[in-house]
Amino acid sequence: MSTTGSGDGPTVRVTVGSHGHRDEPEEERRVSAATAVLDGARDAATDVTVVETGPTGADRWEPLVLCTLDGRTAYHPSCDGSRAKRLVETLESGSLPTDGAAAVVEHGDSPDSLPTPEDGPLSVGRRRVLARCGWAAADDAPDPVPVADAESVHERVAEVGLLGRGRGDAHRDEPIADAWETAREEDGDPVVVVNANDRDPRSHADPLLLESDPASVVEAAALTADAVGATDVVVYTTADEFLRRRVREAVDALIEEDRLDARPQVVAGPDRYIAGEPTIALEALEGSDRIEARLTPPSPAVHGLYGRPTLVHTPRTFAQVRLALSNPEAFDPDDADPGTRLVSVTGDVDSPATVELPTGGSMSAVRDAVEFEGSPKMAVVGGQFGGFTTHLDHTISSPALDAANLGTEGIVELFDEDKCPVATAGKRARFAQDENCGRCAPCREGTKQLVNLLREVYDGDYDDDMIRELARTMRATSTCGFGRSAGRTVDTAMNAFETEFRVHADGRCPAGECQVASREVNR
């Protein structure tokens, strides 16, 4: 019985993963449940190949068992160990188990990516950087990219015009080729950092990539290092040991195939939301007792880890880099934001999902990836400090989201009628006050003032102009992205729900949530 590789004969794939973001008990439960399914499949397998893969991104289908035989794959979601055993036994008998399958997909022999169903959460968007998620084992490296040398790597990325993705990217929503050029021209030995320490519980994209296709991310980081003349690659993660194990397995596989010049370091960072900010990540990697944001300029590409030119990109960015090198036709360099964007959909939904959308497409497509009763009252786009909107008819590209004052972090939260925008904005303002690093006054003092102004709303004094001016000042003068975005949630909540703010000043909450929420903001 084989337990690794892609499998050419009858094959069962079991999706095992934690997404690396939930609290420890739930994280352990998710991995434990999927491991029980994997064990059940292995116990029944003699001739069938059993492969442990990472998640697909569709949480409500996990643990998912994929049964493949003769160019067809049957999807069996939410399996347990006994059901997995029966599925393997059916395959062992020479039949594809289709009874009870959520989908059966026909495809060619030995596909190297997930055969996508026509319906369901996995049919949403385009699976390009997500292509191997749920299909390949962590130690199954993708085919090498067809580039000739380091200069070709840099030229290809520059031609595509790829922008950095995610709040942990030092060049978020900026052309990363410019930073590469800076890093390789600066004095000193450059270093490349994969910033995967994102403790926003809503953000699943980066841990999904590192659990499901870590080899693609690590190899892209190594190719980036070659392009700028770097000798060191550091993978900076959360303390999630499951995710770190998957990364180490991918590194071992790439080294065995002689596709890495040196072994990347895998380093766990602090268990704090701010630890994912790019310059704070560098402080943590240097072992600073007090981690706080650095002043920029200079950017990390000029003065980064231990003063060396440093490129700090997220797994999402590196996944796009690899796609640009292996399939440049997937990018339109005339787009303001070439490529695709990963979006985690969460909030008042049955289960979260992570989908990949073309940057020219509509955000409304995320509704098809999750189950949500009725129409959302509101959405928050951009994570912890995202922007409020009353509709999803926004283009998913960085310039379009920025123009709408929505975040580009790749998170869409959908909320129903029971959620209050004033309470939601207040809780996030309180988070900003409690969790900021304290380095700069606009963020340190501004978040305190923001909370106080929201307290006054509950006390009957809604100073709309003062709140807006404070949010504007924080956005313009804070040292890092934390402070610059902390006021956005309140500012956009007032734009979308000004009437509710005024009603709250009169002592009423239309959603009925604020009997509890007001005490949380005022404590």
Percentage of the chain lying above the pLDDT 70 cut: 94
Q: 150-329 falls under which CATH superfamily?
A: NADH-ubiquinone oxidoreductase 51kDa subunit (3.40.50.11540)
pLDDT tens-digit map of 464-499: 999 999 999 999 999 999 999 999 999 999 999 999
The contacts of residue 14 (CB under 8 Å, 6+ apart) are 34, 37, 38, 41, 50, 51, 52, 53, 63, 64, 65, 66, 79, 84
- Phi-psi label, residue 88: left if phi above 0, alpha if psi -120 to 50, beta otherwise: alpha
Average pLDDT over the chain reads: 92
Identify the CATH assignment for 421-522 out of 1.20.810.10, 1.10.3720.10, 1.20.1440.230, 2.10.10.90.
Answer: 1.20.1440.230
Residues of the chain with CATH 1.20.1440.230: 421-522
Identify the CATH assignment for 340-415 out of 3.40.50.300, 3.90.1150.10, 3.20.20.70, 3.10.20.600.
Answer: 3.10.20.600
Closest listed residue to residue 15, CA positions, set 57, 74, 73, 69: 57
pLDDT tens-digit map of 163-182: 999 999 999 999 999 999 99
Residue 22 pLDDT greater than 50, yes or no: no
β-pairing verdict for 411-415 and 378-381:
antiparallel
Alpha-carbon distance of 388 to 236, in angstroms, equals: 31
Q: How many CB atoms lie within 10 A of CB 399?
A: 15
- Phi-psi label, residue 410: left if phi above 0, alpha if psi -120 to 50, beta otherwise: left
Mean pLDDT across the stretch 232-245?
Answer: 94
Residues of the chain with CATH 3.10.20.600: 340-415
- Say what the pLDDT of residue 49 is: 96
Of 5-14, 73-82, 207-216, 230-239, the poorest mean pLDDT is in 5-14
CATH number for the domain whose boundaries are 11-123: 3.40.30
Residues of the chain with CATH 3.40.50.11540: 150-329
pTM (2 decimals)? Answer: 0.94
Closest listed residue to residue 57, CA positions, set 73, 41, 77: 77
Residue 368 pLDDT greater than 70, yes or no: yes
Residues of the chain with CATH 3.40.30: 11-123
Residue 333 pLDDT greater than 90, yes or no: no
- Say what the pLDDT of residue 28 is: 60
- Say what the pLDDT of residue 26 is: 55
